Structure 1
C-alpha cells in the first residue's frame, strides 16, 4: 500500500466515528479492522479482536452524544512502512457536557492516533487523548484550580 492509501483508510475510520460507526459506503466501521486487530483507548485498555473492539466502541461511544474531527487541521506522519500517525483536534458532546479543542486550552479535543495499516485493513490503532471529554476531572490537578 502507498502512504496515501493508508491515509484514506485512517480517514474513513475517523469519518466513521463521526457518523456513529457507519462508513461512507454504509458498512460498519469494524469492517476497516483486521480480525486480530488491536485498539488501545485510555482508561479502557487494549481490545485484541473485532469482538473486543466492538465492545470498546460500544462502551466509549455510549458516553458520546456526538463527535466531529477537524479534518482540515490534521497532521500526518508517514514512516514509509505500515505505520501512520495522525494528530488532530475534535469537538462534540459527552453525556457529561460538550467539549471543543482549545476551550479550555487544557481540556479534551486534542488527540493522536497511531495506526498500523496493511492490506487495506487497520491492524493496530493506539488512541492517545484525554478521555475526560467534559473536563470534570479537575480536583486532582491543582494548576486547574487557578
Structure 2
C-alpha cells in the first residue's frame, strides 16, 4: 500500500485519497496539519503550484514497522514550477522520511519530514549552518 501511495503521489493521481480514512491527518513542514480528505486535497493543490514534477525512488524505500505505524525513508527528486531541478546533490540530497499510521488497510495519518527548500533558496539558513 505504501508503494502505491508514492506511485499515486508521483503521478498526481487523486486516487491517493482512496488510501486515506475520512479523518486523515497529514502534516508537512511550512504547511502544518491538514485534517480530512478535502484539506489534504487543498494541500496537494498548493504543492502542485510549487512543484512541476516530483518522483520518489519507490524501489529504494526503507521501512521500519511498529504496530500500526510504518516509517519510510527514501529519496525524491523533481522540478519546481519555475523549472529548477532538485536535488543539487551538494546541499540538497533529496532525502525524506514519512511516518504512516494505519487504521486497518487505510492510512489515518501521515507525517512528512522533508526540507521544503528544494532548491536551496534559504541562503541565510544555509550560510548559518555552513
On whether the aligned pair clears a TM of 0.5, the verdict is yes
2:72 pairs with one of 86, 92, 116: 86
Report the CA distance between 1:134 and its aligned residue: 1.6
2:43 pairs with one of 49, 53, 56: 56
**Counterpart-to-counterpart distance in 2, 1:78 and 1:115:** 10
The one-character-per-residue Cα deviations of 1:35-68 (angstroms, maximum 9, x if unpaired) are 0010001000000111111101111122111111
RMSD after superposition = 1.6
Q: How many residues align?
A: 129
Map of 1:22-101 to 2, 5 A cutoff? Answer: 22=14, 28-79=15-66, 81-96=67-82, 97-100=84-87
**Counterpart-to-counterpart distance in 2, 1:92 and 1:69:** 9
**Counterpart-to-counterpart distance in 2, 1:135 and 1:17:** 23
Which segments of 5 or more consecutive residues in structure 2 lack a partner in the other structure? none
**Counterpart-to-counterpart distance in 2, 1:12 and 1:118:** 17
Report the CA distance between 1:108 and its aligned residue: 5.1
Report the CA distance between 1:69 and its aligned residue: 0.5
Normalised by the length of structure 2, the TM-score is: 0.90
**Counterpart-to-counterpart distance in 1, 2:124 and 2:89:** 16
Which segments of 5 or more consecutive residues in structure 1 lack a partner in the other structure? 1-8, 23-27
Over 3 Å counting, the alpha-carbon distance change for 1:104 and 1:139 in structure 2 is: farther
* Residue in 2 that maps onto 1:6: none
1:119 pairs with one of 104, 107, 113: 104
**Counterpart-to-counterpart distance in 2, 1:31 and 1:98:** 30
**Counterpart-to-counterpart distance in 2, 1:135 and 1:15:** 26
